Structure 1
Amino acid sequence: MKAGIHPDYHEITVIMTDGTQFKTRSCYGKPGESLRLDIDPKSHPAWTGVQRIIDTGGQVAKFNKKFAGLGLKKK
């Protein structure tokens, strides 16, 4: 391996949405920092099977307003 081209690989703490924590090694941040997750396997619909719409800052409303006129034309 070439010297000086690889990122620093160190230990960080990952904090899940329910508050549980675990330590892992990563290139994220600085040694000893924490990474707080907004979505993880305990809350993501792909793993839980529960669908819900998270409207952050009106993104869903903005999308609906922008594309409200699209669709099949009535005869």
Structure 2
Amino acid sequence: MKKGIHPNYVPCKVTCVTSGKEFEVLSTKPELRIDISSFCHPFYTGSDKVVDTAGRVEKFKQKYNMK
């Protein structure tokens, strides 16, 4: 590897704005603020809301009296 062309990595404090949780990673910036993380994302927390997608066409047809 060539010397002098790679960025310097420093410990970075990452703060999730939504949950307020903080964790540390290596980055080129000393601090990051993110909107969503694995602490509050529904996929990772298991609090996923199920959206009913079955029967949408039938509901549309029934609503507008289509056959």
Q: Shorter-chain TM-score: which interval?
A: 0.5 to 0.7
Q: Aligned residues: percent identity?
A: 42
User: Does the aligned pair in 1 maintain the 2:14–2:32 contact within 8 Å?
Assistant: yes
Gaps of 5+ in 2: 51-65
> What do the CA deviations read for 1:10-47 (whole angstroms, capped 9, x no partner)?
111111232122222112x2xxx321120111222321
SS at match of 2:44: helix
Give the TM-score taking structure 2 as reference length.
0.53
- C-alpha distance in 2 between matches for 1:42 and 1:22: 10
Which structure shows the higher strand fraction?
2
Per the alignment, residue 18 of structure 1 pairs with: 19
Query: Would you identify which runs of 4 or more consecutive aligned residues in structure 1 move more than 2 Å?
Result: none
Per the alignment, residue 41 of structure 1 pairs with: 38
> What do the CA deviations read for 1:43-71 (whole angstroms, capped 9, x no partner)?
2232134249xxxxxxxxxxxxxxxxxxx
- C-alpha distance in 2 between matches for 1:21 and 1:4: 31
